[in-house]
Structure 1
């Protein structure tokens, strides 16, 4: 996946212009704009798994098209997601219990470099799957959720935590799979 800085800047400028037009109809103060970093700003990512000649690959569709492309990195995702993607897919490909009928992989990360990986299957999960997933969990230092029809197996935590400081107060924010939030962290 290639990130085009020129496209990012023009899209941001277009959004700012449209937002200011909307605000001009009201007596609001001028907003402050805080651009996102161009890379590593997404704390979550979801990928289809494409099985190609017995090899599982991360896959996405081109926007607005049915054409599939494969990826080994996802530059807009956090550094910890990118760091985990290749070791995870290699471990999946080396283990039939993890690879067979794997449909998608979801990553959820935190600013503290914690990561929750959800593996979604079109088959029942069994003890072989649990033992294999536990080995991956230990080796990669991650939490894993396995999901299949009417079954969920949690290995480690079912959430990631953020430590957020607001003025003189510290808060712990827990995010679970499937919840959208748009936190921005500088050191990911």
Structure 2
């Protein structure tokens, strides 16, 4: 079903998720659950809509995930206020201009808590200078309405940028403000306030940790930068080149000097650590000099592969952020043989859906 945002029902749906997660993980004997509630509306910093053409009309649509039926979207209460403000203004500007509306099939919005916005328009045709000139006029109309948005036009092997292709997010983590470059068409945490809570929780549970931190699947350095104060050094891996580039930007923007980002997959890094393969990307990096007692993993929905689970087990402390409780359970079935869950958290990233994000902090069992 489509997401129905109703603040009056939010608490009940959150309690249902809490009960479900507690029951699912009861066999692992976790401690009491740390529950982090979302804002009940305007919590999503991203939104994507298909565009429907009907005679002279133009409007956003989404598809019901179960029935696959399309439905019109004029406002989207799940999205940030600035996205909702921009949605109708953009359509009003596009409708009368054949150059701008022809072959347009999708609009993506990326916003930030700090009030920045990037609008990406996707086309089934190549974009020329006439398009760019007309779109500049749309951008000026938005500015006159108080919305300072960058606009991107995308077509096959083509990208035209009016402004910039990223937002600069500012997150409050504990008592510190962190700046993150978030590039359009790249993965970023969708719920900004929840991201602040996740980072603050991770910082708290690793307080007092010793040595260095290893992070797999680091993205744009979201956790790496926030956790850097708790460790001597942070060594992080990420495979997507755009995310690695943003991570390097974020390291410099926050004046952090103890974080190193490697462009490698978790599987490749496992091979490097085991000495199975050598990588030119590791030239100048002395892996043996790192004293990593703690490892952080934030894997995709498929969870950790078997070899990476074995690698993770070697560390004293494991911080596991999961977007899929089912694969988390599968991984914990192995990890719990050597580690005990000392902290357990639910992050309600996606209110009014079945989706649950969880965090576990595991510590190695003491030998008898």
In structure 2, what is the equivalent of residue 58 of structure 1? 60
Pick from 170, 184, 191 the counterpart of residue 177 of structure 1: 184
Deviation at 1:165, TM superposition (A): 3.2
Give distance in 1, aligned partners of 2:57 and 2:168: 33
Give distance in 2, aligned partners of 1:168 and 1:64: 43
TM-score, with length taken from structure 1: 0.90
In structure 2, what is the equivalent of residue 33 of structure 1? 35
In structure 2, what is the equivalent of residue 20 of structure 1? 22
In structure 1, what is the equivalent of residue 166 of structure 2? 159
Pick from 126, 132, 135 the counterpart of residue 133 of structure 1: 135
Higher helix share: 2
**Considering only CA atoms, is the larger Rg found in Structure 1 or Structure 2?**
2
Deviation at 1:83, TM superposition (A): 0.5
Question: Quick check: 1:61–1:69 contact (8 Å CA) kept in 2?
Answer: yes
TM-score, with length taken from structure 2: 0.48
Deviation at 1:2, TM superposition (A): 5.1
1:115 paired to 2:93: no
Unaligned runs of at least 5 residues, structure 2: 143-147, 195-368
Which segment is superposed worse, 153-162 or 30-39?
Answer: 30-39
Give distance in 2, aligned partners of 1:158 and 1:167: 29
Deviation at 1:48, TM superposition (A): 0.3
Unaligned runs of at least 5 residues, structure 1: none
Deviation at 1:73, TM superposition (A): 0.5
Question: Quick check: 1:45–1:107 contact (8 Å CA) kept in 2?
Answer: yes
Which segment is superposed worse, 173-182 or 33-42?
Answer: 173-182
RMSD over aligned CA atoms reads 2.0
Give distance in 2, aligned partners of 1:42 and 1:82: 11
Give distance in 1, aligned partners of 2:77 and 2:102: 27
Alignment of 1:84-123 (within 5 A): 84-123=86-125
Which segment is superposed worse, 38-47 or 10-19?
Answer: 10-19
Which segment is superposed worse, 44-53 or 58-67?
Answer: 58-67
Give distance in 2, aligned partners of 1:135 and 1:89: 13
SS in 2 for 1:66: coil
Give distance in 1, aligned partners of 2:70 and 2:40: 24
Deviation at 1:11, TM superposition (A): 2.8
Question: Quick check: 2:38–2:193 contact (8 Å CA) kept in 1?
Answer: no
Which segment is superposed worse, 46-55 or 134-143?
Answer: 134-143
Deviation at 1:7, TM superposition (A): 4.9
SS in 1 for 2:32: coil
Structure 2 CA distance for partners of 1:57 and 1:3, relative to 1, 3 Å: same
Question: Quick check: 1:36–1:184 contact (8 Å CA) kept in 2?
Answer: no
In structure 1, what is the equivalent of residue 85 of structure 2? 83
